[in-house]
Structures are given as structure tokens and as C-alpha cells.
Amino acid sequence: AAAAGTQKSEVYQLTADNFDSLVSGDSPWFIEVYAPWCAHCKALEPTWETLATKLAGKVKVGKVSTFGE
């Protein structure tokens, strides 16, 4: 997620409630499945943010927690 006072994140937070409505359609998606407690997942967060910014308008980038958050 973006730090306070910076640009809004381009990575969609996907949940059980919004997954189908957001992901359905013709737009391609690149989705990260992560665990909020995982150190490797946390370390990759800036990479996902960069990827989402670079792919904006071409591919949507989302993340979904293995804990259903």
C-alpha cells in the first residue's frame, strides 16, 4: 500500500466480496496470492506496486490474502 500522503495504490485489494465483480470482464489480471504475515510477501510489496504502475491501462494488478481479508 502507498504511504500516507503519496499516490493511491494501483494494486486492487481483492476479497471474497469483490473478487467476482472486479475480475469478471475482458481486462487481463495479474493476481498475487499472499499471506499478510509472510516476510517474503511483505518484501515483494514494492515490486507489486511498481508492476501495477507500469502495467496501468494494460493489465490490472490485484492481491488476495490467503486469510480471506
pTM > 0.85: yes or no: no
Distance CA 48, CA 62 (A): 9
Task: Reduce the secondary structure of 14-27 to three states and give it as a string.
Answer: ECCCCHHHHHCCCC
What is the largest distance, in Å, between two alpha-carbon atoms of the chain?
33
Average per-residue pLDDT in the chain?
Answer: 88
**Quick check: 23 pLDDT over 70?**
yes
Q: How far apart are CA 60 and CA 63, in angstroms?
A: 10
Alpha-carbon Rg of the chain, whole angstroms?
A: 12
Confidence check: pLDDT of 4 > 80? no
**pLDDT band at 9; cut points 50, 70, 90:** confident
